[in-house]
Structure 1
Amino acid sequence: MKSIYILCLTLFSLSLSAQTYVTVEPQTGTSRLALSFTAGRNIPYSVENYKITYNTTDVFGQPTVASGLLCVPADRGRLFALAVYNHGTVAGRELVPSREGITERFIPQVMAGVGMITVAPDYLGLGDNDAPVHPYVHADSEASAGRDLVAAAKQWLDEEEIDYSDQFFITGYSQGGHATQALHRDVQTNPGPDSLKVTAATHLSGPYSISDVMRETLFAEGQATLPGYIVYTYISYDYVYDLFDDFNEIFADEYVGNVDSFARGLIDLGAFNTRLEEQIAENNASLADLLQDSIATQLMTADPTSPTYQALLDNDTYDWAPEAPTLMYYCTADEQVPFRNAVLADSVMTANGSTSVDLRDGGNLTHGGCLLPALNATLDFFIPLLDLQVVGLGDVVDLPEVRLSPNPVALGSRLRLSGLPQREYAFVLYDQTGRETGHGVTSATGELQVPTSLTPGMQILRVQLADGTSLVRRFFTK
């Protein structure tokens, strides 16, 4: 009987491991016009959005279910790359990418719109995951949440017969920068059975140096910046590493009430931060005064015997050497994540032998002001590396009623397909030798922009139709 019980448990475990995703729910799609307007650049593909729940592990190594967003370009004629976007710090459990209406969703949607099937994990303790505490800036769980979501998305894409390439891109901002560096390191150092290999990554304004740069913010002079976020780190590590029996052992007595209210979910991060700022101002205190004197001393001296300091060390993410092209982006007026995180990470990675890191100063911008320039820098970094291979546009059919005008057409002008039902159509352009010279999606009225890079002369246009077939037309550029 015991052996049968063990066998049943084994089979059940194997069935769980084989099924990486749990549910995939369609959400409202996003048009390329809306994405182009938001991004301030031409976005060639509309995007299908899905909420996905998937199997992963919690910080204690136990199975759990997490949620995230999956964004797929609305074009089945190409092999798109895979990508991960890791979101920044959020104030509450529901303010995550899988929830419709959240502003930060536009980033993975834009990434999908330029040709990357993109997932955005909600992380543990947020979204649908039932962990009582989000393990904030915990490197291992950030990496596993992203990696397991990629595996779940690949399984669903395979079942839906949606093709993808072996290219893999990773990016993230703020906390997401830390998560990106953790995931990038994990994929490079532990290839695993999923055969992931990073094509390129951008680490954006992240707190990579938890044990040094971020620790020192506790002892910086002047007005305390975002004390709630700093305290959140220590609440997280207490949850993960079981550092203390009670919050009174780490935090000064007058702050424990607010710490406990936040840890139990009675107030969100925004309210928590506001309360701490008010208390610090009333007490004329510093960030270090939030802690018990013994803990503050351990951290000030970087005491190697301190379990608290060891937890900080465990979540540094920069002491390795990236092999794939890596953009390290920061802004010098960042009041939330000191830019020395990026400078230190770059110097250590270079000392470790990496020659692929591009350290880039985004200018005198605040943390919030740095986001859009960092996103544009990411797109400019990724797009030249994308290899969007044609899957096949179906058998060619003869539709004599479909015409192109004007023909000839000037380079840079609009070319219009007439005689087809109004909708967007994927297309590919070729020159006379059969070399691909462009691709994209027409407008709903059948219009496309003729690239200025084409050579004057005969061009070939192949358009994918709704039934999976395609039509081919010749036109001339002048």
Structure 2
Amino acid sequence: MALTHFPLRPRRWARPAGRAAHRATAAVAASLVLLLSACGGGDDNDGNDGGNTPAARNPGDLVAAQAINQISVADINAALNAPDSKVQGKVTPLYAVNSYRLTYLTTDKDGVTTTASGLVSVPVKPTGARSPIISYQHATTFHDDQAPSNKVEAVEPPLVLASLGYIVVAADYVGFGAAKGQVHPYLIAAPTANAVVNMLQATDTWRASSGVADNGQLFLAGYSEGGYATMAAHRAIQLANGALAQRVKAAVPGAGPYDVVETLDAQLDRVGKLFPPLGAVLDPGRLSKLPESVRIEVRNLLMKQMVPDDGDVAYQTLFLDRYIADERETLAREHSVHLGWAPTVPVYLFHGRLDLTVPYSASTSALSALRAAGAPAVTLTDCTTGKLGHLDCVPEYFHFAVTRLGQIATDL
């Protein structure tokens, strides 16, 4: 969901979109490079889950687990009903929440095995009680202290969802948490999916040793980059057809750039309408014929506008390099996540029609492709809130996801 990464109370986002109206380069950055903004973060406390962890060697293996904190129902309820809360009265916490930081093995941007981390938040239920699992994928942030296992606070979506009765699993992604200092593989399908899937596998190992029981139901949700990661992971799980595939019951991806080619084309088209000469210059058909050194300069200029000066996470630019080089087939094959599969469970897409960060056409393209592939239950619900923009629709998405999943989930 954009849950952390969308906060449930407003915070300072990564880069003010208003600069786009004043400078052409900022307009290109805001449009072409996708300002998939969001927030998260926190600090680990001392502690351990007490379980025995076998030696980790392969992606999906658990390395270690550490207890972080317990947050009460009262504290979560107070956070949700604070004067600046965007979800006042929308959800009612039922349980206190225990949270843990897991480290595990996954793959980096080059397919090399590396250590990553993530958050597991567990509702405090009677002994023996079971819970459905939500795999929650956070949206874009350029700050490591906003990653799920680094910001374990009452207002954060993983904690709120856990307070409703779900076990919530949230990967930090490579580049954050235990993998800080590595390049974040932004909008690259395979490592994005692996970070999520491997975190789920490591969580299963930890739950087995810690006595945290699930009820066999697995849901996936995320907003913005989190929506993209949700679809990437869902596709990987289904195509692998392993144990996880049998547990997935539904997914709720929100406002994600699933079709990366369409996303960038739509953004470039918008720039071309606002600044016709600039749109012509930045056309990939033209740029691809220029020397590589020139293309790199264009990419660096765009990335400089995208990443805030105080950002401490490095983002891989492969998707942008390939777009500028007009490598459309490669982009579709290795970056887009809506092709090559047909979901066998409900997929509830959600998007705002006036979204200027991730264009609405990214969702309509995904909807068309998935239905054409034979998916029986893929829908697209429009945001109806206010201006229908990317951030405007976050609170409505949260409520939409909670409602949809609540209609299917049991043992809450």
Return the offset for 1:183.
Answer: 0.7
Return the offset for 1:78.
Answer: 1.6
Q: Which residue of 2 aligns with 1:351?
A: 372
Distance in 1 (CA, whole Å) between partners of 2:59 and 2:228 is 29
Q: Which residue of 2 aligns with 1:99?
A: 150
Return the offset for 1:34.
Answer: 3.2
Return the offset for 1:313.
Answer: 4.0
Given the alignment, which residue of 237, 244, 247 partners 1:187?
Answer: 237
Tell me the SS of whatever aligns to 2:168: strand
Q: Which residue of 2 aligns with 1:315?
A: 335
Distance in 2 (CA, whole Å) between partners of 1:200 and 1:19 is 22
- Higher RCO (CA < 8 A, seq sep 6+): 2
Return the offset for 1:158.
Answer: 0.8
Distance in 1 (CA, whole Å) between partners of 2:292 and 2:395 is 38
**How many pairs were matched up?**
329
Tell me the SS of whatever aligns to 1:48: strand
**Map 1:301-312 → 2, pairs under 5 A:** 306=327, 310-312=330-332
Q: Is the 8 A contact 1:187 1:197 kept in 2?
A: no
Return the offset for 1:65.
Answer: 0.4
Q: Which residue of 2 aligns with 1:252?
A: 297
- Please, which runs of 5 or more residues in structure 1 have no aligned partner? 1-12, 225-230, 235-242, 273-290, 300-305, 389-438, 440-478
Q: Which residue of 2 aligns with 1:79?
A: 130
Distance in 1 (CA, whole Å) between partners of 2:395 and 2:314 is 26
Q: Which residue of 2 aligns with 1:336?
A: 357
Change (3 A) 1:87 1:20: same
Given the alignment, which residue of 116, 125, 128 partners 1:66?
Answer: 116
Return the offset for 1:208.
Answer: 0.7
Distance in 1 (CA, whole Å) between partners of 2:57 and 2:94 is 38
- CA offsets per residue over residues 221-279 of structure 1, 9 Å max, x none? 3559xxxxxx9xx9xxxxxxxx9xx98352336x747858999x97528999xxxxxxx
Return the offset for 1:360.
Answer: 0.4
Verify: 1:23 aligned to 2:56, yes or no.
no
**Map 1:24-423 → 2, pairs under 5 A:** 24-37=65-78, 38=80, 39=87, 40=89, 41-75=91-125, 76-100=127-151, 106-130=156-180, 132-192=182-242, 194=244, 196-220=246-270, 221-222=272-273, 248-252=293-297, 256=300, 259=303, 267-268=310-311, 296=324, 298-299=325-326, 306=327, 310-319=330-339, 320-363=341-384, 364-388=387-411
- CA offsets per residue over residues 430-451 of structure 1, 9 Å max, x none? xxxxxxxxx8xxxxxxxxxxxx
Q: Is the 8 A contact 1:211 1:313 kept in 2?
A: no
Change (3 A) 1:69 1:384: same
Distance in 2 (CA, whole Å) between partners of 1:159 and 1:101 is 23
Distance in 2 (CA, whole Å) between partners of 1:295 and 1:382 is 36
Tell me the SS of whatever aligns to 2:390: coil
Larger displacement relative to structure 2 (128-137 or 323-332): 128-137
User: What's the TM-score, normalizing by structure 2?
Assistant: 0.71
Larger radius of gyration: 1
Return the offset for 1:193.
Answer: 5.2
Return the letter of the residue paired with 1:108. Answer: P
Percent of pairs identical after alignment?
A: 26
Return the letter of the residue paired with 2:140. Answer: T
Distance in 2 (CA, whole Å) between partners of 1:343 and 1:258 is 26
Distance in 2 (CA, whole Å) between partners of 1:386 and 1:328 is 18
Tell me the SS of whatever aligns to 2:99: strand
Distance in 1 (CA, whole Å) between partners of 2:364 and 2:305 is 36
Return the offset for 1:340.
Answer: 1.2
Change (3 A) 1:295 1:164: closer
Q: Is the 8 A contact 1:250 1:295 kept in 2?
A: no
Distance in 1 (CA, whole Å) between partners of 2:252 and 2:266 is 25
Q: Is the 8 A contact 2:120 2:169 kept in 1?
A: yes
Distance in 2 (CA, whole Å) between partners of 1:379 and 1:370 is 14
Return the offset for 1:134.
Answer: 0.7
Distance in 1 (CA, whole Å) between partners of 2:131 and 2:306 is 41
Return the offset for 1:101.
Answer: 5.5
User: What's the TM-score, normalizing by structure 1?
Assistant: 0.62
More strand by share: 1
Change (3 A) 1:60 1:192: farther
Tell me the SS of whatever aligns to 1:372: helix
What CA RMSD, in Å, does the superposition of the two structures yield over aligned residues?
A: 3.5
Distance in 1 (CA, whole Å) between partners of 2:408 and 2:156 is 22
Q: Is the 8 A contact 1:88 1:173 kept in 2?
A: yes
Return the letter of the residue paired with 1:362. Answer: C
